[in-house]
Chain A
Amino acid sequence: METFKRILLAEDDERDVELTLSALEECKLANEVIVVNDGEQALDFLYCRGKFMNRPNGNPAVILLDIKMPKVTGLEVLRQIKSDENLKIIPTVILTSSREEKDLIEGYELGVNSYVVKPVDFEEFIRAVKELGLFWAIINEPPPFTAKRN
């Protein structure tokens, strides 16, 4: 499976998108970030359909999923990813403002690779993202960082 060296970020709140991107930038993560605003778009992207029909082939290097999203929630996207033979190998991280136990449990049951509770403190958030980034960025020898908004 060809790996498409990009980060897929699914987040409906533009402020969170901004902050996440800032944090990723702060961490000097070289991968390209593709942002989608709900679960449906995330799945469209992964399955190259809808407006992503003509996107280049390949899976993202990592998926960052918010839980609370319109239309299709982050957990539903996760369930889809982890039940698909082609997608389930993609490292998937849940980014959430919730510490709610049931979300945590469900996430882990569905096979999430990592789970980050977005802290109120932005510095902490950057730290958390950095820890996340180490996980996959080092392995994939990322190309020069370019952030791209779609």
Chain B
Amino acid sequence: MYIENASPTKNEERYKILFESNPIPMWIYDLDSLKFLEVNDAAVKKYGYTKKEFLGLTLKDIRPKEDIERLLDNINQETSSYQWSSGWQHIKKDGTIIDVEIISHEIKYNGTNARFVIANDITQLKRVNENFKHVIEASPNAMVLTNKRGIITLINKQTEILFGYERNELIGKPLDILIPPRFKNQHKKDEVNYFKNPIPRDISHRKELYGLHKDGSEIPLEIGLNPLVFNDGLSVIASINDITERKKTQEKLIKAENRYRTTIEHMMEGFQILDKDLRYLYINKAAAEHGRKSKEELLGHTMTEVYPGIENTEMFSKLTDCMKLGIPVRMENEFTYPGGEKSWFLLSMEPVPEGILILSKDITQEKKTDEELRKYRNNLEELVIKRTEQLEQKSIALNAALELQRENEENLKLIFECINDYGIILLDIKGFIKNWNTGAEKLIGFKQDEIIGRHYSILFTAEDLMNELPGKELELALSQGKVEAEGWRIKKNGNRFWTLSIVNVLRDKHGNISGFIKIIKDMTEKMKAAEKLREHSSKLEELNKELESFSYSVSHDLRAPLRHIAGFVQLLEKDISPNLNEKDKKYFNYITSSVKRMGLLIDDLLSFSRMSRAELNKDDVNINELVKECIDDLTDDSSDRNIKWIVGKLPVVRGDKPLLKQAMLNLISNALKYTKQKEQAIIEIGAEAKKNEFIFYVKDNGAGFDMKYKDKLFGVFQRLHSESQFEGTGIGLASVKKIIERHGGKVWAQGEIDYGATFYFSLKRKKEGYGNI
């Protein structure tokens, strides 16, 4: 503004009007004296001074005193050019202070250096500004104001708290400082985009937002953005909310929900939700298992689709009732699977907003158990009834038995009296006779009235009494319940008799010992018989011994003279043989052969008697081997003969080997002997197995015999042929018979004259069927 350059009058006029009528206070002051040189009406109005008063004041007078120093400094530094400054305060005449914005120009006024000032009252504006700041500060959210270049211009206390920075650490810094590195790039783009379309928006719903704390940690945030237009252009105010707690709560909620979901999924009860059309919305594992369908088969389908016919069940009608009436239902349901199988379920149906919730529990096993229990209970009842019946019957039977017992007692009394062969004596516990039957009376001689009340030791011999036998007998009966004894007892007439006695303890109905029952039997006759038998057998033994010594003597003493005769006859014959004629020689021969035969007879007789007496030493005897030995023993002598041996398979038997061998030797040597006139002798030895025995045979094709005499074959010294025909003493077959009979077997023979003979004998098998051939 160069007022000097205008036409002095006209311009002056024009400016005067502009100056005077301007609604904004204006003045001109002297730069040296700071005196007001001119002041307009607006200033008069604003500051309360009259124009005259104003012109008497200096610039200092409208300033607060503390400002004056700054004012003076400022004036000195001011250049002549245009200047804008704010932050100044003026005092009005009434003392109120206003905030002002000053625009000034240096001018020449009436030849002096002066300054033209426009003072704009910004008190109101400043208050609004302050209020804005207060609002920001008071916000419970963190508030960050950022200018167009992304520089933070304003923050509040909450921001300090949230991000951990001091206010001065953030103001003037790029917003980047609060963005976690991983989001920085994205944030740049977002920032650019936002400024293209600056409208208020909540950016939290789109994505998760995070801020960077001073300590480097990330903070989950919710952010609202608002564009603000300031003098210097567009700024953005961000309202930031820490949602850490909310996040945590949310996570917890999610976790809890998951847990419930998992629990439901895995619980043993079936859990299903159906919509109002009975379409499966949710189904847990157990429910699917209960239905024997996969989740895929069920979800999205209706119940009637999946289980056709289910609409006719009681369960279905309850289900629809539950949904219609909104009342929970609990029921036990036997569910029939499409295959016809059945299971029991406990169902709990509950209306829920989606439709219906069904909880199911498989109770098939419980049902079964219940059923079994019921059956068992029924059985038990039946059993109890049966038992009761049985008991009734038993009690009837018991009554009958009691009746019978009474009868029995009567019968017993009768028996007691009637038994004649046995003496029955009832004793009290000390051995005194309480009762005595007729048998005892008959046996011992005392009448009942003579004996009752006397001690039973009266029946014992003096010797037994010395040994205190009666007392011992009762003691033994007490300890054992029963005693059996044999011994001599005394009759009334003093005679001894041999008794067998049994003493039994008697008990009353309470089980206490009430006495004894003694039953005696006269065994004298038996005893005598046994004694006789013993005598006989000892006599027999003696006889046997005698026989033994007899045969011993025979063998020595009978043979000795024979030997002498034979010896001396031979010696004699030798001495005189040159003088003997044929006849004499024949006589000598007769003597010699007779003596020899006598010797043979004696030997055979002795061996026969030995066979009868010798003890059997039984062992397993292999007849195969035994026959082989016999043939070996016998064939040396007959080696020049033509003999055909036919030996079958023979068994093992139980017997005395030497004796059996003797028997076999005798039979085989017989066969050899009686076939000696045959050109071809055939001797066959064999056996046949019967159930309990073996039948052996020795068969020859020799002289045979007449069956008429078959009984004589086995007699001692019995012969069917003359000595000159076949030598022998007639003791061989008798020995065979003896041996076989001593083994429990039998001998027999078959034959025909000139067509041979077969000798049989039987021997028991060791066990039935034992020792197969």
What is the interface of chain A, defined by CB distance below 8 A to chain B?
A: 13, 15-16, 18-19, 22, 67-68, 96-101, 118-123, 125
B592 CB contacts on chain A under 8 angstroms: 121
A94 to chain B, nearest CB (A): 13
B568→A120 contact, CB < 8 A: no
CB of B330 within 8 Å of the partner chain: no
CB of B559 within 8 Å of the partner chain: yes
A140-B599 Cα distance, complex, nearest whole Å = 35
**B567 touches which one: A67, A68, A101, A122 (CB < 8 A)?**
A122
What is the interface of chain B, defined by CB distance below 8 A to chain A?
A: 551-552, 555-556, 559-560, 562-564, 566-568, 570-571, 592, 595-596, 598-599, 603, 606-607, 610, 614
B556→A19 contact, CB < 8 A: no
A101 CB contacts on chain B under 8 angstroms: 610, 614
**A100 touches which one: B555, B571, B599 (CB < 8 A)?**
B555
Known: A97-B555, A99-B606. A118 touches B571 (CB 8 A): no
Known: A119-B599, A120-B599. A97 touches B559 (CB 8 A): yes
Least CB separation from B551: chain A residue:
A100
The 4 closest A-B pairs by CB, nearest first: A120-B599, A122-B567, A19-B567, A122-B570
A82 to chain B, nearest CB (A): 22
Least CB separation from A101: chain B residue:
B610
28 contacts between A and B (CB under 8 A): A15-B560, A15-B564, A16-B560, A16-B564, A18-B568, A19-B567, A19-B571, A22-B571, A67-B556, A68-B556, A97-B556, A97-B560, A98-B556, A98-B559, A99-B603, A99-B606, A100-B551, A100-B606, A101-B614, A120-B559, A120-B566, A120-B596, A120-B598, A120-B599, A121-B599, A122-B563, A122-B571, A125-B567
B606 CB contacts on chain A under 8 angstroms: 99-100
A108 to chain B, nearest CB (A): 16
Least CB separation from A125: chain B residue:
B567
Where chain B touches its partner, the secondary structure class is helix
A15→B567 contact, CB < 8 A: yes
A98 to chain B, nearest CB (A): 5
B566→A122 contact, CB < 8 A: yes
A98-B570 Cα distance, complex, nearest whole Å = 21
A98-B548 Cα distance, complex, nearest whole Å = 13
A120→B570 contact, CB < 8 A: no
A120-B564 Cα distance, complex, nearest whole Å = 8
**B595 touches which one: A19, A22, A96, A120 (CB < 8 A)?**
A120
A100 CB contacts on chain B under 8 angstroms: 551-552, 555-556, 606
A13 CB contacts on chain B under 8 angstroms: 560, 564
B570→A99 contact, CB < 8 A: no
A26 to chain B, nearest CB (A): 9
Q: A99-B606, A99-B607, A118-B563 are in contact. List 8 more A-B contacts (CB 8 A).
A: A15-B560, A16-B563, A99-B555, A100-B556, A101-B614, A120-B566, A121-B596, A122-B571
A68 CB contacts on chain B under 8 angstroms: 556
B603 CB contacts on chain A under 8 angstroms: 99
A125-B598 Cα distance, complex, nearest whole Å = 16
A48-B606 Cα distance, complex, nearest whole Å = 40
A104-B32 Cα distance, complex, nearest whole Å = 187
Q: Which of A98, A99, A120 has the most B CB atoms < 10 Å from its CB?
A: A120
B598 to chain A, nearest CB (A): 7
Least CB separation from B592: chain A residue:
A121
Least CB separation from A23: chain B residue:
B567
